[in-house]
Chain A
Amino acid sequence: MAQKILLKNINIPGINTFEVYRQHGGYAAVEKALKTMSADDVVEEVKKSGLRGRGGAGFPTGMKWSFLAKPEGVPRYLVCNADESEPGTFKDRYLMTHTPHTLIEGMIVSSFALGANTSYIYVRGEMMPQIRILEKAIAEAKNAGFLGKNILGTGYDLEIYVQPGGGAYICGEETALLESLEGKRGNPRIKPPFPAIAGLYGCPTVVNNVESIAAVSWIVVNGGDEYAKIGIGRSTGTKLISASGNINKPGVYEIELGLSVEEFIYSDEYCGGIANGKRLKAVVAGGSSVPILPANLILKLANGQPRLMSYESLAEGGFATGTMLGSGGFIVMDEDACVVRNTWNFSRFYHHESCGQCSPCREGTGWMEKVLHRIEYGHGKMSDIDLLVDVSKKIEGNTICPLGDAAAWPVASAIRHFRDEFEWHVNNPKAAMDGNYGLANYADPIPVVEEAS
């Protein structure tokens, strides 16, 4: 059984309460850090751990922390990004629901490391139950002396506030989040300046994902080196994967990075194979914004080696044959899934969620959505496919925030890998309305039923 860090105690009844959490060793990180370590020590451990941001970009957390500016007399902030709205990603919600103290403990240790005395958890507006859970957990921790003034008599003060968002996906982008937290419209900012220099209220700020912060407690207790031993290469530690789609066992799994994609899909410990005995057609491996890959490319690298669940392995092959780990939203499509419809569905999402600030994304996402809609509904033209490629190419890399890329990649990759399916839609409008293209030549290289059973 693989090592579990974040979800180790998830099945213990009452682990969502302070008492039970504490009985099982919770808040040891706070005691250790505040009483025996300096802030820089904590940063150092996190650096050693190799922990990379779990919000999508995978930027090394320790490095991000060390960039934080520390001007005299200016407050610093830690903001936890719990806006989780990417289609296919639901791990933060799971963690907050079932073991909220894991996040609170991580928040305290991380805030201490950064020298923040006020920290925020920005939670997606629709997650009202989780907001209540977090508020309760904060109250419990405060009651027990782990929050507030002079925590554990160490002289360190910290308040954590939970801020509900308004339900916009874009407010998960860190600078849009900061705008929203400041009470403004959630339009992303242009970087530089980076939040580490001028973030919340113009002050140095670190924005981290729920999962990144939650992992810090374990690192403090067990040491960064221990953490770095888990995983593979520069993908250290464990990662929460939100598995969904046509699989037998959808849900949130904690994996050690480096697990093979094949094992993740087919082993009973994880997804348990494709549902209803069907065959695998494609996977969106890291949340809706990463490129879609057909079965053969997601399971194996170009050189025939198995593809692994790690930042590097998933990205191997670049745009031509690779994808990304992203936020770990693992969406599996079986032979009956329609890639065109799925792409349209994603692009509908990105169109709707574009903040409307920069022209390529604002206008391009809407345009792509319309074109995809008409292809899917049997009114497409052959030139539409190239038009989509052209529009997506002009969006990519030319927008203020990465939502533009996130909207462009699914479209570009779907056409890159499934062009014939698009053409089939154009040429067979009637058939496309009634049925679907099927597995076609994206043969699942693994003889599914036999292997999995």
Chain B
Amino acid sequence: MATLYIDNRPYDVKEGKNLLETCLTLGFDLPYFCWHPAMGSVGACRQCAIKIFKDENDTAGRLVMSCMEPVGKETRISLDHPDAEKFRKSVIEWLMTNHPHDCAVCDEGGSCHLQDMTVMTGHNYRRFEFPKRTYVNQYLGPLINHEMNRCIQCYRCVRFYKDYAGGKDLDVYAAHNHVYFGREKDGILESEFSGNLAEICPTGVFTDKTLKQHYSRKWDFTFAPSVCQHCSLGCNIIAGERYGELRQITSRYNGDVNGYFICDRGRFGYEAANSVDRIYQPALKEENVSLNQEYIINDIAALLSTSNCVGIGSPRASLESNFALQQLVGNGNYYSGWSDEEHRLNKAALNILQNRTAEIVSLKQIEQYDSILILGEDLTNTAPMAALTVRQAVRKKPVENAQQNINLATWHDAALREYIQQRHSDLFILHPHSTKLDEIATQVSYSTPHEIAAKGFTIAAAIDATADQVIDQIATSLLNAQKPLIITGTSLFNEPLLAAAEAIVKALKKRGKQPGIFITQADCNSMGLAMMNVPPLSSAFSKLSDSTLIILETDLYRNLSTEKADEIMNLPKRIIVFDHIKSTTSEKADIKVPVGMFSEADGTIVNNEGRAQRFFQVFVPKNEWLKESWRWLSLLKALKDGKAIDENLSISNIQSTLVEALPQFRGIEDAALSEDFRLNGQKVPRAPHRYSGRTAMLSNENVSEPKPPQDIDSPMSFTMEGYRGIPPSSVTPFFWSPGWNSVQSINKFQIEIGGPLHDGNPGVRLVNSNSSITPIDFEQKTEKISLKEFEWQLVPVYHIFGSEELSAKAPAIAELTPKPYLGLNQYSLAKLNLQENDMATIEHHGRAYQLPVRLRAEINNEVALILFGLPQTAFFVKPVIIKIRPASNGITNNNSKHE
């Protein structure tokens, strides 16, 4: 602890932090631009100037940049000193000399850090009387808009894009007051994290282009705290609605999960909610006509009570919805939507976490690990934010060295990067193909999934051996690390990989290390479904014939081969699908019932580390069908059982039944405050207090303002009325604080800058130890796959855009989805007499498919890569062996060599 005198008042503060973050933590308002809590200081904008004094007797003091000065044992500063105030004011004056002052037409207006800082410093009179400089803007793709005239040259964008996120195609060009932030030439931004520019940039240079299609000011949104549904990591998001439409996703700070950022799939995938593929009306297959709600529901209830029902759950539906279905069809009749492989994989993932040999690592905690082994995950494309955290993790050791060797503070970003240069802590990647993280890896190797698993077992054996026998570089590094971490996942559909990861952590544990484990899965609630402990689809077969099958928010055709899925779909007497988006499955159903998407629903999902997180309904859609699946299913259960219908069934009601029936979920009630929580007797408003147009927006329907909808599921109102202060973290719909309209207001919601939110980061870790340490199994459960001539192992390649079902329906994401291809190496191409871009004919299950060929020089001779999850590659749902037809000699190029 140290003492900091601010304008002669003493405060107890932490030594070593910089003065800016310390003042902000203490609640002072001090303007800044180039500093960012996640990226540290560079001292460039000079906005954060304060006076520092040598001692009590020093009255003159020295003007310094608060972001560049550490807190000493006893430090004396003044924020209010006239010199400092004047200087801060003139920095704004400088920045404003060339700023276009186009707030009225700027997307940032109302949530703009530059506006906030300008008001904070009090600059209001313009002395610059010359024409302003102007720039030509660039086309940066469908996600981000560029308006360079507004730039105040704080360098945050390039620092985030290049230094923090490893992007290559955004930079700073030119010099003096004409520096330019953009790409070398127009073109789509290549980084998977480009959307964060909209939040990083303190002005309206980089803004969300998808928001532009249906723009709204921050103060006009209705927001809710939500959780991203587009991968298993469960990044926290803020979802915003206006005029009954989901219009914007921004990151919601969670110090344990995603920190300040989210990926582009998470930010821009939301437009699926407004896509043409939404199911808005129920339909019967035969007539395909819309039907009256009561009729449909009563009809379904009747069907359910007269036939045997089977239910298929979903890894992308909430726990509550899965549970409601299980209740409706009965325990023995409820199955996960998974194939056997997926079932085993996700169970294995859960088991490893439960075994607790290793620390279960949260997304943000990855940054604390100093030697990382990635076994068969292309994180950038399967769990994007994990890739971003790994990029920070590999700086850990070099940063510590910089601290030790030359006493550099961790926040001194520029100096750290100059000192560290390209150095990084150990990162090893074993994968079938090259990945974006390879560039920061110590060692990469490309092999078949089975070989990767085999290598994993070898590493485990090497770790387990006595020290002098350890020869493996990876084993040595993991053993020498303070905190070794193994990252693996289910994306290669390879169980031995998970077993190998487990063997490694057990071996490390045996050698006295505290290894960490991080396992990624496919869907936002994969872990929740695994924890429900229900049988896979294959076990349902015997019960299906003549049954009424209810399929909840899932597309069987994504999880099973077409043949298998068809087989299932043909057995039942009738099929009822509850889903919010069209799929092959929903279109084949006899009855499809629309339900609410995450923005129209309340629910709990469990992320890959076993953290239960609550997402809240953002708005009440006019379409009364768009309610949670669990609400419909509970209603049906009541009807089926002939019980009274509870009109006011709330999420707490279903949660308490849930934890009673499935005690492993005890704790989900604490993932958010319950609906009866009040602050000063008030609810927390979802809309900012400047929300406009409320009385007008529905006047075309009714001149008298309708009663606002009531929320029975949460302590939040759907309006701007309610508690005005900082709400508890789990029910914080948006970040705002007086004088801080931009996202930077987050500073006011944290205990300390970059630390946890005021009452803790939301979410509850459910997975508990069963602490029985089982013996290490080094046995290589990997069978050698033998391939016949012209056979290859088909291995999935994921793409952040396109490989995930929901986000792929968002137009901007669809635009960025790559074309399907078959990736083969030189050897394979030669053998097949094929050239890049030729069409290859794949034979699988007696059918032939055609795909253009792309050269992937790095992959193994036995591997053929296929882009996963696209409609054109839908026949591929798990690794299979395929036959590829060689091109006949007539067509080929003479370059190809035959082996």
State the A residues within 8 Å of B (CB): 69, 71, 168, 170, 179, 182, 185, 189-190, 192-193, 197-198, 201-202, 351-360, 362-367, 370, 387, 394, 397-400
Contacts and interface: CB of A to CB of B under 8 A. Distances in A.
B99 to A, nearest CB: 10
B46 A193 contact: no
A190 B128 contact: no
B625 interface: no
B419 interface: yes
Contacts of A362: 94, 153, 176-177, 179
A197 B402 CA distance: 11
B405 A71 contact: yes
Nearest to A178: B418
A122 to B, nearest CB: 17
Contact of B177 (A198, A201, A356): A356
B126 to A, nearest CB: 12
B425 to A, nearest CB: 16
12 contacts: A182-B421, A190-B43, A190-B68, A193-B419, A198-B419, A353-B175, A357-B44, A357-B155, A359-B44, A359-B47, A359-B91, A364-B94
A189 B415 contact: yes
B761 interface: no
Interface of B: 42-47, 49, 63, 68, 87, 90-91, 94-95, 97-98, 127-128, 130, 152-153, 155, 172, 174-179, 405-406, 408, 414-415, 418-421
A397 B91 CA distance: 14
A352 B176 contact: yes
Contacts of B406: 69, 193, 197-198
A366 B175 CA distance: 11
Contacts, number: 102
Contacts of A202: 418-421
Nearest to B154: A359
A278 B88 CA distance: 47
Contacts of A193: 406, 408, 415, 419
A202 B402 CA distance: 10
A398 B94 contact: no
A200 to B, nearest CB: 10
Contacts of B46: 358-360, 398-399
A352 B415 CA distance: 26
| CB-based closest 3 A-B pairs | A363-B94, A356-B179, A354-B176
A179 B420 CA distance: 13
A355 to B, nearest CB: 6
A351 B47 contact: no
A408 to B, nearest CB: 13
A362 B176 CA distance: 5
Contacts of B127: 387
A400 B94 contact: no
Q: Which of A168, A182, A364, A394 gathers the greatest number of chain B CB atoms within 10 Å?
A: A394
B666 to A, nearest CB: 51
Contacts of B47: 359
Contacts of A370: 130
Nearest to B415: A193
A398 B44 CA distance: 10
A422 B94 CA distance: 24
Nearest to B172: A185
Given A358-B43, A367-B130, A398-B87, 13 more contacts: A189-B415, A198-B406, A351-B176, A354-B175, A356-B176, A362-B176, A362-B177, A362-B179, A363-B94, A387-B127, A394-B87, A398-B46, A400-B43
A359 B174 contact: no
A359 B43 CA distance: 10
Contacts of A363: 94-95, 97-98, 177
A355 B173 CA distance: 10
B747 to A, nearest CB: 21
Nearest to A69: B406
Contacts of A357: 44, 153, 155
Contact of A367 (B63, B97, B174, B408): B97
A381 B66 CA distance: 36
A359 B175 contact: no
Contacts of A353: 175-176
Given A359-B95, A363-B95, A364-B94, A190 B175 contact: no
A426 to B, nearest CB: 15
B419 A358 contact: no
